[in-house]
């Protein structure tokens, strides 16, 4: 070489060898490193707010704080959130001589596993819980690759949920419908890992991804915001109204609050306008639901390419888990759930728990009338009240005591 | 395979263990070359051939330049290297830019051009490894380097994975001597390697990715959205003036943490394998002038421009006019290297203008005043502000967007109705800057160098765990990967 270095090199290599470390000193350093990791993870885990963000965090927190007050919890998606009014539910039951104190654990956009995780969390709080209403949600074995490591996709992967998701993926194999057996991440199409993993069976890949998510959760990866909120956060004033109503908030009330705050336009106005603009499509969908053929909708809100599974066994497993804890279990298929109605009938026939089916516009036209809807899947406050009253009647008929 | 992902952690751990367990230097290099090719294929295996072609071109050109007996033949082989390397870069990176610019020009002249752009994917890291291989041939041509006899060493120099896709752009005479000598584990200075990697990880995963959504919100799209063919949101015109300041401050922090974070991780990873890469950043945000800034920012690239463009053009020799022209040409090229768009060219040109003003001011004000106290603080603030303002050209998706952002910083123009989020992060950003000052003064290093082994390991474990807890998990690619 004719020239010496012209760029400053990083000081990471010594001119002379350093003293070799003995085994004992290496061991002390390894133990020190592990102790540092464990101490920080344990501290962060202890102070972190429950994960999920916004509405979900607030609801989980509120339920944990006041678990002893409730004997009934309705765990579900945004449909349960907007259709089920705890105060109305308790009042109607009281009229029939049944004491009840209920909580709405409706979580917008929740998946089957997320609901199951939330339900287990509610049961784990102990207290006076006597019954669980569980909204049926289709099972999507695969995690959406485009959102794979968003905290929302990770947080529910505790050991129990990860094991269930892996077991279910392997048990079900390629038995999927309405989408592909496995949806590739388009960004990985020509990458080496993409090429290698493509040779794996779909169920194995899905199980492996759940395992990675499980590890991500155990190490609290990406939970910094929850830790910060746990240390410095305050309850969000906009969520207080929802918590005062034990988890329920009508869309009209939420929109009024946003208007008062000057947050206009917003996601709710967007959804409302979209619904009004496409009302003919909505009416056509409702008509189609009256037939026997499966109807697939709602792809505005999830990746339509993902395959989903209609599996009686996992629902039975969930119900058995609840009953093993000494609680009553009711499965509810909500209005606006426009999925496979033949499968809903199978659930009624094959499960040994009460199944309340409301995704039947010919039987419940009042829950499908566009005038009672805020958007395609969610009701006005009046419609929610009517639904809650109907739910009470059906639960009593199904044996609720 | 981004450096801050689980996949890289597994890849690196396996590579590290196998590498140090191999008995000979040759076996280790062969293993690392194969590992580096696998690393590159993890982005897109179809472009692996391009890396091999680039290696072959300069291996042959370097040997031929050295073997040639006349300057004419040497020049011919040097031109072969330059033309083929820049040709590959030009095709993949600039083809559509030139087609679109030609179409715009023809339209302006009153013609109706029917030119269609090509569907070309930009291979990751191409701007880095073509420049790196090019320096090899050019250094041999200028008599600064003898070609290596080992193709293995040369392939290793080109492909070494820590610096393959986003630099630092190493010089052959810095790297090849290291490759020739067997690396010893006992000479690896473990603490700085680990610190470099962890600080880089923190900068990228905890700071840059945290601020990215707010900057992207202002500019209307993330680089990822654009690279996937998306168009993004409405852009700066819909935001108020305060948002422009937020975007500027967060953009400056994000940009530094993203790129220097990558470089730090590359240095740490290479160090753990026994190799020294060059320092790419030396606290540029404490520079007291634009000239000083560019001697601290992306050092491997700015020194490339200095040695292979600016000096051959004549550098500071000759008249002031000549100096100004040399600087402007050099920096227009710098702009074009960063991206195939007029916003980048304008950014480069404007940075060149600042450097010209700085150089002329130094020529005319012979008496140098040492910058201390409040004067130094003001100089640092002004330098940062100029860098931040030009950042609008860097991040804007169009000249109109960039211009709107620049005007908004000066509170000029009609403000839009929206405001970007993330104002709660202003205080943490200020605290980070203070932490950066501690690093600038070397306070941190003084502490970790003196810690006993067990205390260092425990503190490192705690900081590592805190970093993974506070990392963002949306896996944003490094900004410089698009170049």
Count CB neighbours of A32 within 10 A. 21
Least confident span in B184-198, B201-215, B336-350: B336-350
pLDDT for B117: 63
Q: What is the dihedral of CA A219, A224, A225, A230, to 10 degrees?
A: 80
Residue of A nearest to B263 (CA): A10
Q: Out of A71-75, A175-179, B50-54, B376-380, give the one with best mean pLDDT.
A: A71-75
Per-residue pLDDT at A382 exceeds 90: yes
| Chain B CB contacts of A30 below 8 Å | 457
CA gap B145, B383 in Å, rounded: 36
Q: Mutation test of the interface with chain A: which of B459, B466, B474, choosing the one with the most A Cβ atoms within 10 A?
A: B466
In this structure, the dihedral spanned by the alpha carbons of residues B119, B124, B125 and B130, taken in order and rounded to 10 degrees, is -40
Find, among A380, A351, A345, the residue nearest to A366 by Cα. A380
At residue B249, the pLDDT reads 94
Q: Per-residue pLDDT for B307 more than 50?
A: yes
Can you state the angle between helices A381-397 and A251-260, rounded to 10 degrees? 150
Looking at chain B, the whole-number percentage of residues with pLDDT higher than 70 is: 92
What average pLDDT does the segment B154-171 reach? 91
Question: Strand pairing partners for A13?
Answer: B188
How close is the nearest chain B Cα to the Cα of A19, in Å? 8
DSSP state at residue B346: H
pLDDT at A202: 83
Using the Cβ of B424 and the Cβ atoms of chain A, whether some distance falls under 8 Å is answered with no
pLDDT band at B421 (very low <50, low <70, confident <90, very high): confident
pLDDT band at B154 (very low <50, low <70, confident <90, very high): very high
Q: Across chain A, what does the average pLDDT equal?
A: 86
**pLDDT bracket for residue A201 (50, 70, 90):** confident
B67 — contact with chain A (CB < 8 Å)? Answer: no
Residues of A in contact with B139 (CB under 8 A): 3
Q: Name the DSSP letter for residue A13.
A: B
Instruction: Give me the long-range contacts of B237-241 (CB less than 8 A, separation at least 24).
Output: B237/B400, B237/B401, B237/B404, B237/B416, B238/B416, B238/B417, B238/B418, B239/B408, B239/B415, B239/B416, B239/B418, B239/B419, B239/B420, B240/B408, B240/B415, B240/B416, B240/B417, B240/B418, B240/B419, B241/B408, B241/B409, B241/B411, B241/B415
Task: Determine what percent of chain A is predicted with pLDDT higher than 90.
Answer: 41
Give the closest of A3, A9, A150 to B473, CB-based.
A150
What value does the mean pLDDT take over residues A312-341?
A: 88
Measured distance between the N- and C-terminal CA atoms of chain B, rounded to whole angstroms:
16
Q: Which residue has better confidence, A222 or B363?
A: A222
Burial A365-401 (b: 16+ CB within 10 A, else e): eebbeeebbbbbbbbbbebbbbbbbbbbebbeeeebe
Q: At residue B339, does pLDDT exceed 70?
A: yes
pLDDT in tens, A345-365: 888 999 999 999 998 888 899
- Residues of B annotated as catalytic (active site), given as ranges: 338
Would an 8 Å CB–CB cutoff place B42 in contact with chain A?
Answer: yes
Which percentage of chain A shows pLDDT scores above 70?
A: 92
Phi, psi dihedrals of residue B108, rounded to the nearest 5°: -60, -35
pLDDT attached to residue A169? 87
Instruction: Point out the least confidently predicted range of B109-118, B172-181, B225-234.
Output: B225-234
ipTM of predicted assembly, 2 dp: 0.83
Eight-class DSSP state of B94: I
Q: How many CB atoms lie within 10 A of CB A10?
A: 23
Kindly tell me if the per-residue pLDDT of B232 is higher than 60: no
Kindly give the residue spans of alpha helices, DSSP state H, lying in A173-310. 192-197, 202-218, 224-232, 237-244, 251-260, 267-277, 279-289
pLDDT single digits (tens) A213-271: 999 888 888 888 889 988 987 777 778 888 888 999 998 988 888 888 777 777 888 88
Cβ contact, residue pair A222, B454, below 8 Å: no
pLDDT bin (cut points 50, 70, 90) of residue B481 is very low
What pLDDT score was predicted for residue A54? 81
Contact B276 A222 (CB under 8 A): no
Q: Which residues of chain A lie closer than 8 angstroms to B228, CB-CB?
A: 186-187
Q: Inter-chain contact B274–A13, Cβ cutoff 8 Å?
A: yes
pLDDT at residue number A234: 75
CA–CA dist B467, A167 (Å, integer): 32
Q: Residue A110 and residue A391: Cα distance in Å, rounded?
A: 21
Which of helix, strand or coil describes residue B82? helix
Q: What is the pLDDT of residues B5-18, one digit of tens each?
A: 888 898 999 999 99
B10, burial (CB in 10 Å: exposed 0-12, middle 13-18, buried 19+)? exposed
- Nearest C-alpha in A relative to B140: A2
| pLDDT score of A389 | 96
For residue A3, pLDDT beyond 50: no
Of all residues in chain B, the percent with pLDDT exceeding 90 is 50
* Cα B467 from Cα B213, distance rounded (Å): 19
**At B191, phi and psi to the nearest 5?**
-60, -55
Out of A194-203, A269-278, B26-35, pick the least confident.
A194-203
Mean pLDDT, residues A179-185: 72
pLDDT band at B115 (very low <50, low <70, confident <90, very high): low
Q: What is the 3-state secondary structure (H, E, C) of B16-59?
A: HHHHHHCCCHHHHHHHHHHHHHHHHHHHHHHHHHHHHHHHHHHH
Select the residue of A12, A36, A193 nearest B189 (Cβ to Cβ).
A12
Instruction: State the average pLDDT over residues B401-421.
Output: 86
pLDDT tops 80 at residue B277: yes
A9 contacts on B by Cβ (under 8 Å): 174, 276-279
Predicted confidence at residue B479, as pLDDT, reads 53
User: What mean pLDDT do residues A72-89 have?
Assistant: 94
E strand residue ranges, B92-201: none
- Lowest mean per-residue pLDDT among A69-83, A234-248, B111-125: B111-125
Mutation for A interface: B461, B463, B475, most A CBs within 10 A = B461
Q: What pLDDT does A189 receive?
A: 74
Instruction: State residue A178's pLDDT score.
Output: 58
Residues in chain A within 8 Å Cβ distance of B184? 17
**Average pLDDT of span B119-143:** 86
Interchain proximity B144–A149, CB inside 8 Å:
no
The number of beta carbons lying within 10 Å of the beta carbon of residue B245 is 16
With residue A105 as reference, give the H or E element that holds it: strand A102-106
- Nearest alpha-carbon partner for B117 in B104, B90, B99: B99
User: In terms of pLDDT, which residue wins out, B301 or B226?
Assistant: B301
Band (pLDDT 50/70/90 cuts) for residue B120 is: low
| Percent of chain A that is helix, strand, coil (3-state, to 5) | 55, 10, 40
Q: What is the pLDDT of residue B220?
A: 80
Q: Does B482 have pLDDT greater than 70?
A: no
Residue A4: pLDDT band (50, 70, 90) is: very low
Task: Tell me if A5 and B174 make a contact (CB, 8 A cut-off).
Answer: yes
Looking at residue B224, its pLDDT comes to 46
What mean pLDDT is predicted for residues B406-428?
A: 86
Interface A-B, measured as beta-carbon pairs within 8 A, has a size of 186
User: What pLDDT score was predicted for residue A232?
Assistant: 86
Q: Name the band, by pLDDT with cuts 50, 70 and 90, for residue B353.
A: very high
In sequence order, the 6+-apart residues with CB closer than 8 A to the CB of A166 are A207, A210, A211
Q: Which of B100-104, B116-120, B339-343, B411-415 has the lowest mean pLDDT?
A: B116-120
A14 touches chain B (CB under 8 A): yes
Question: Nearest Cα to A213, choosing from B473, B4, B43?
Answer: B473
- pLDDT of A2 strictly over 50: no
Backbone phi and psi for residue A50, each to the nearest 5 degrees, phi listed first: -60, 140
CB-based contact, A355 to chain B, within 8 Å: no
The answer on pLDDT for A41 being more than 80 is: yes
pLDDT over 70 at B287, yes or no: yes
d(CA B380, CA B166): 27
* B279, B471, B473 ranked by CB distance to A10: nearest: B279
Q: How long, in residues, is chain A?
A: 401
Nearest residue, CB atoms, A191 vs list B42, B270, B282: B42
Q: Which of A5, A13, A145, A234 to mutate to test the interface with B (most CBs of B within 10 A)?
A: A13
Length in residues, chain B: 483
| A360 close to B (CB below 8 A) | no
Residue A132 forms beta bridges with which residues?
A73, A329
Q: Do B459 and A195 touch (CB under 8 A)?
A: no
Q: Residues 162..221 of A with a Cβ closer than 8 Å to B: which?
A: 186-187, 190-193, 195, 212, 215-216, 219-221
Contact B309, B321 (CB under 8 A): no
Tokens of A242: 């929802």
* pLDDT value for B119: 67
pTM of the model: 0.83
Sheet holding A131-135, edge to edge: A102-106, A72-76, A131-135, A328-333, A355-357
């Amino acid at each position: 070489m004719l020239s010496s270095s012209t760029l400053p090199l990083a000081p990471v290599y010594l001119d002379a060898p350093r003293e070799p470390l003995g085994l004992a000193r290496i061991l002390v350093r390894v133990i020190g490193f592990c102790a540092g990791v464990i101490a920080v993870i344990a501290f962060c885990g202890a102070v972190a707010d429950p994960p999920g963000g916004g509405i979900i965090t607030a609801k989980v927190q509120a339920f944990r704080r006041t678990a002893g007050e409730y004997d009934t919890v309705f765990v579900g998606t945004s449909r349960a959130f907007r259709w089920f009014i705890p105060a109305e539910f308790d009042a109607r039951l009281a009229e029939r001589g049944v004491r009840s104190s209920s909580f709405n654990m409706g979580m917008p956009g929740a998946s089957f596993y997320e609901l199951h995780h939330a339900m287990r969390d509610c049961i784990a709080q102990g207290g006076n819980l006597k019954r669980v209403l569980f909204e049926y949600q289709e099972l999507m074995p695969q995690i959406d690759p485009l959102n794979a490591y968003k905290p929302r996709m990770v947080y529910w992967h505790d050991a129990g949920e990860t094991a269930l998701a892996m077991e279910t993926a392997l048990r079900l194999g390629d038995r999927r419908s309405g989408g592909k057996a496995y949806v590739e991440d388009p960004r990985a199409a020509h990458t080496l890992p993409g090429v290698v993993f493509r040779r794996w069976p779909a169920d194995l890949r899905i199980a492996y991804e759940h395992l990675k998510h499980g590890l991500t959760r155990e190490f609290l990866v990406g939970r910094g915001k929850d830790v910060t909120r746990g240390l410095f956060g305050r309850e969000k004033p906009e969520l207080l109204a929802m918590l005062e109503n034990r988890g329920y908030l009508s869309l009209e009330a939420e929109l009024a609050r946003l208007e008062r705050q000057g947050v206009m336009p917003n996601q709710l106005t967007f959804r409302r306008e979209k619904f009004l603009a496409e009302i003919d499509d909505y009416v056509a969908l409702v008509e189609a639901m009256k037939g026997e053929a499966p109807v697939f909708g709602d792809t505005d809100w999830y990746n339509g390419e993902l395959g989903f599974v209609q599996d009686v066994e996992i629902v039975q497993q969930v119900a058995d888990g609840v009953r093993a804890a000494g609680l009553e279990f009711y499965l509810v298929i909500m209005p606006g759930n426009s999925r496979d109605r033949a499968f809903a009938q199978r659930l009624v026939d094959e499960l040994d728990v009460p199944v309340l089916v409301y995704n039947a516009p010919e039987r419940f036209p009042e829950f499908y009338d566009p005038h009672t809807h805020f958007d395609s899947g969610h009701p006005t406050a009046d419609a929610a009240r009517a639904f809650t009253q109907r739910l009470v009647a059906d639960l009593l008929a199904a044996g609720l005591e | 395979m981004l450096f801050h992902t689980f996949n890289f952690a597994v890849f690196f751990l396996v590579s590290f263990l196998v590498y140090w367990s191999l008995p000979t230097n040759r076996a280790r290099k062969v293993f690392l070359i194969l590992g580096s090719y696998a690393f590159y294929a993890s982005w897109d295996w179809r472009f692996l051939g391009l890396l091999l072609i680039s290696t072959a071109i300069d291996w042959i050109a370097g040997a031929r330049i050295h073997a040639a007996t006349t300057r004419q033949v040497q020049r011919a082989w040097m031109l072969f290297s330059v033309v083929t390397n820049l040709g590959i870069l030009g095709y993949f990176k600039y083809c559509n830019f030139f087609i679109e610019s030609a179409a715009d020009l023809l339209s302006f002249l009153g013609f109706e051009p029917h030119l269609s752009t090509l569907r070309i994917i930009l291979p990751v890291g191409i701007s880095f490894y073509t420049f790196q291989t090019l320096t090899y041939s050019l250094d041999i041509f200028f008599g600064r380097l003898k070609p290596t006899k080992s193709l293995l060493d040369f392939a290793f120099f080109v492909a070494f994975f820590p610096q393959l896709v986003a630099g630092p752009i190493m010089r052959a005479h810095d790297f090849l001597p290291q490759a020739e000598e067997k690396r010893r584990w006992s000479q690896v200075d473990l603490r700085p390697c680990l610190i470099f990697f962890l600080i880089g990880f923190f900068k990228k995963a905890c700071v840059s990715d945290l601020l990215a959504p707010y900057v992207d919100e202002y500019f209307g799209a993330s680089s990822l959205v654009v690279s996937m063919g998306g168009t993004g949101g409405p852009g700066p015109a819909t935001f108020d003036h305060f948002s422009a300041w937020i975007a500027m401050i967060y953009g400056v922090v994000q940009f530094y943490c993203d790129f220097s974070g990558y470089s730090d991780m590359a240095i740490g990873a290479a160090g753990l394998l026994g190799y020294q890469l060059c320092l790419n950043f030396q606290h540029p945000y404490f520079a007291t002038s634009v000239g000083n800034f560019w001697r601290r920012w992306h050092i491997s690239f700015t020194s490339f421009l200095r040695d292979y463009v600016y000096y051959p053009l004549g550098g500071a020799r000759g008249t002031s006019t000549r100096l100004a022209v040399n600087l402007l040409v050099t920096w227009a090229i710098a702009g074009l290297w960063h991206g195939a768009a007029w916003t980048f060219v304008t950014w480069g040109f404007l940075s060149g203008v600042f450097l010209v003003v700085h150089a002329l001011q130094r020529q005319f004000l012979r008496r140098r005043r040492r910058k201390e106290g409040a004067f130094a603080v003001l100089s640092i603030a002004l330098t940062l502000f100029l860098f931040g303002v030009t950042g609008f050209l860097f991040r804007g998706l169009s000249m109109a967007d960039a211009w709107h952002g620049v005007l908004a910083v000066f509170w000029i123009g009609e403000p839009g109705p929206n405001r970007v989020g993330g104002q709660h992060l202003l205080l943490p950003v200020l605290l980070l800057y203070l932490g950066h000052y501690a690093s600038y003064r070397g306070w941190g290093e003084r502490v970790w160098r003196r810690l006993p082994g067990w205390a260092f390991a425990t503190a490192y474990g705690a900081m590592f765990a805190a970093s993974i807890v506070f990392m963002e998990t949306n896996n944003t690619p490094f900004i410089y990967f698009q170049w």
